[in-house]
Amino acid sequence: MEINVHELIIEKAHKHLLGGDFTAVELAEAVLKNAESKNKKMNAYLEFYDDVKDQAEEADQMFKKGTAGMLTGIPFAIKDCILVHGKTATASSKILEGYTATYDATAIKKLKKAGAVLLGRANMDEFAMGGSTENSSNGVTKNPHDLERVPGGSSGGSAAAVAMDGALAALGSDTGGSIRQPGSFCGVVGLKPTYGAVSRYGLMAMASSLDQIGPITKTVAGAEAVFDVISGHDKMDSTSVPEEVAEKCKKEKKKKYTIGVPADFVYAEGVDEDVIVNFKESLQYLKKLGHTIKEISLPNLKYSLAAYYVIMPAEASTNLARFDGVRFGLLEEGNNLLEDYEKTRGVGFGKEVRRRIMLGTYVLSSGYYDAYYNKAVAVRNVIQNDFKKAFKEADMIATPTSPVPAFKIGEKSGDPLSMYLADIFTVPANLAGVPAISVPSGTTVREGKKLPLGMQFFAPHFNEKMLFAIGKELEKK
């Protein structure tokens, strides 16, 4: 049978592979061919792996033996900050040019065991710092819906790879919206799991108390299939939550949910009119299906962005201290050790990374630690309590994923604050550690181009199944 890559989703591909309509090798070759042809314009991939056919042949063997699962033979794009043993991993930074991963991230190990086919590494904002994939040392990735616009970030390459039919699924990482916002901009599904649900072992750390690996797929069922494989306790990650603890948090599945809307936060000044119209239409659609829409209060959510932009740079500045030219990556030699550090980090890190390192170092410095960092941590605790109270009133919470549709390349790059404000709806989930999903909810037209919009749902800790249930219903819209 002829493979129509555009129409393929994980569930359909699995049925065809099971039925023998095509092999994993044929599927990998078809997707890879499409990815290579489109990547010249899109710049979603930084590299295609040279062992794709070998991986696909192993997947075909699993089908023959009867050991294949839902992800066997499914082609994946992998964000450039997730380690794949023996492959280059640079986090799109000059400072790690030529670095080869010495081990597999736990999420990668699980994908390999499931028989997934890893096509290559996807472009990203350098060290995951950005919301547009413009901060990559490898150039900007373009949005498949309009090549003049950004795909979102920092997992922009992963989202663009799926949206351009250059992969059926991708792994990204989400620190403040880096899976969900590009998912929304590119018209695909993005899931940020509960903090501790998916191992961070083998993920290059940006902000350790916020980072999570998660899937980007074409459908909610696809995201669920990937999550089921990559989640679970891992002794290699001290923040990974034991499964018995996660089980205790899970609530009974319902047919109809109460969906809370923090109206004063959602309908605030600065949110694009088309985004609000689409959000209200989506709520009405869910109401018609029998779900209850309830206005709720999250009074301190408005402080989440400010708290995030203190905590995240603080943790990032600490994590990035290891990139000094001594142990791995780039080395620019000076006359002494301090000059080695200064030259290596000055040349190796891009502008946005240097900005955040300086911010983080400042808020952690003597005399400012209490004024900034400790205060931000206190605000974070207050926001977590707001979510706890809100989940007593509502089963889940809904907001738009982004206050704006995809913006033009270069439009916000000269105004960092404007760029940071685009994270307003996504960062609360990372601060609270709760799971959140972005599901395509419609489109808006800009300069004759249809641009996707996304709707976001938050659920209590470890209740991803709730998000999948409501997401599947919204998809039918």
Catalytic amino acids?
Answer: 79, 154, 178
Q: What are phi and psi of 469, to 5 degrees?
A: -65, -50
Contact 418, 283 (CB under 8 A): no
- DSSP at 250: P
CB atoms within 10 A of CB 156: 36
Parallel/antiparallel/unpaired status of strands 258-261 and 292-295: parallel
Instruction: State the Cα torsion 231-116-140-415 to the nearest 10°.
Output: -10
* Coil vs helix vs strand at 203: strand
Measured CA to CA, the distance from residue 236 to residue 242 in angstroms comes to 12
Backbone φ/ψ region at 20: left (φ over 0), alpha (ψ -120 to 50), beta: left
Burial-class residue 6 by CB neighbours within 10 Å (0-12, 13-18, 19+).
exposed
Q: What is the phi/psi pair of residue 397, to 5°?
A: -125, 140
Whole-number Å distance between alpha carbons of 139 and 120: 17
